[in-house]
Amino acid sequence: RSGLAISAAMAQQGVPYRYAASSPGEAFDCSGLTAYAWGQAGVGLPHQSRAQFASVPHVSQADAQPGDLLFYYSPISHVGIYLGGGQLVHAPTTGSFVNVAAVNWSKVTGVGRPG
């Protein structure tokens, strides 16, 4: 299922960030993107990063696999989908777009595995 979630998220590259949005081809916020992508793989997630963290099993950073959710900051306020190789796809912030970026492991506070 992780491959389906990754494909769904990657297909939204270039879509603008908008707070509280989860509209394919129109706009996403970070948790809207992850909820949409995993929803395409048949896994329901709430639309809020802290709620997503609370709803999935956790694994260590060392065990992170493609498709896992990477949660940032304390308290948690950002989430993206790990692609492997130190990369993630996410909807970063106002004024930006869904994109692939390097993982900043020093700011990752949790890793979750949906599905």
Question: 58 catalytic, yes or no?
Answer: no
Out of 35, 78, 79, 89, which one is annotated catalytic? Answer: 78
Which residues are CB-contacts of 85 (< 8 A; sequence separation ≥ 6)?
none
Place of tokens 């494909």: 7
Q: Is 72 a catalytic residue?
A: no
- Angle, in degrees to the nearest 10, between helices 30-40 and 2-10: 130
Q: Which of 90, 91, 103, 111 is catalytic?
A: 90
Residue 30 falls in the annotated catalytic set: yes
List the Cα angle 31/93/55 in 5-degree steps.
Answer: 15
Catalytic residue among 6, 15, 27, 30: 30
Active-site positions read: 30, 78, 90
